[in-house]
Amino acid sequence: DAKTTQPNSMESNEEEPVHLPCNHSTISGTDYIHWYRQLPSQGPEYVIHGLTSNVNNRMASLAIAEDRKSSTLILHRATLRDAAVYYCILPTAGGTSYGKLTFGQGTILTVHP
Amino acid sequence: DAGITQSPRHKVTETGTPVTLRCHQTENHRYMYWYRQDPGHGLRLIHYSYGVKDTDKGEVSDGYSVSRSKTEDFLLTLESATSSQTSVYFCAITGSTANYGYTFGSGTRLTVV
């Protein structure tokens, strides 16, 4: 399985943009890049995913490097509700083990008022 | 909105008793997963299913079994509960890693005394 590397923690101020990096240097051509977040005492929540092109949705933007060895989750204006653990994950792509998510430690995002 | 529900939400059981947790989805997704989350370990995959009656083991499957007799239900059974199985259990579903994110249930907090 392709592995990901994220910083352990990051801090931001409310209403400022946040760029959360993820390295995935062993990514294969068919691996999708998924991002999830987990708020305290809740289950993980889907944020965004993509393959090659940058992606935008109502929650965030995903910027994918041209060589796909890294990506950045962008929260355009952080709010206190965005304080969570953010996970960058590459689901397994093939056969009967399709779609397994391997969670690392993620990045703990702290948002200051 | 969920499309996925877990039951029960909380359970306290005694060591040595069997326990069954239920994950129910209304999305008609093919893939379903059971994870456990413990402090210091993050989320770890217990078992998963890639279709009706098609299941396989994850990284921490000892002491657990699963069944999927219909698309919408994925059952996790602790055959003889132990204190080490005290944890929060999450179910997840997806249609495909390309077209969908994963949706997680709200979790079941299980305490084995």
For chain A, what's the residue count?
113
- pLDDT-derived band at A29 (thresholds 50, 70, 90) equals confident
CA distances from B95 to A69, B13, B29, B105 (A): 25, 33, 5, 15
Nearest to A59 by CA among A87, A32, A36, A89: A36
Contact B50 A42 (CB under 8 A): no
Identify the pLDDT of residue A30: 84
- pLDDT-derived band at B27 (thresholds 50, 70, 90) equals very high
Average pLDDT over residues B82-107: 91
Across A34-38, A49-53, A95-99, B64-68, least confident range = A95-99
Average pLDDT over residues B93-109: 88
A12, A25 contact by CB (below 8 A): no
Q: Which residues contact B16 (CB under 8 A, 6 or more apart)?
A: B80, B81
Nearest-CA distance from B61 to chain A in Å? 14
Tell me the pLDDT of chain B averaged across its residues: 93
At B32-75, the pLDDT tens digits run 999 999 987 789 999 999 999 999 999 999 999 999 999 999 99
Identify the pLDDT of residue B108: 97
CA distance B31 to B48: 7
A-chain CB neighbours of B92 within 8 Å are 44, 101
Chain A, chain B: beta-carbon pairs less than 8 Å apart: 64
Q: In terms of CA atoms, which chain A residue is nearest residue B101? A: A46
Report which residue type is found at B73.
D
B-chain CB neighbours of A102 within 8 Å are 45
Strands (E), chain B: 4-7, 10-13, 19-25, 31-38, 42-51, 54-57, 64-70, 73-78, 87-94, 103-104, 108-112
| B97 pLDDT above the threshold of 80 | no
At B76-88, the pLDDT tens digits run 999 999 999 999 9
Contact A42 B54 (CB under 8 A): no
Tell me the pLDDT of chain A averaged across its residues: 92
Nearest to A48 by CA among B77, B26, A37: A37
| A17 pLDDT above the threshold of 60 | yes
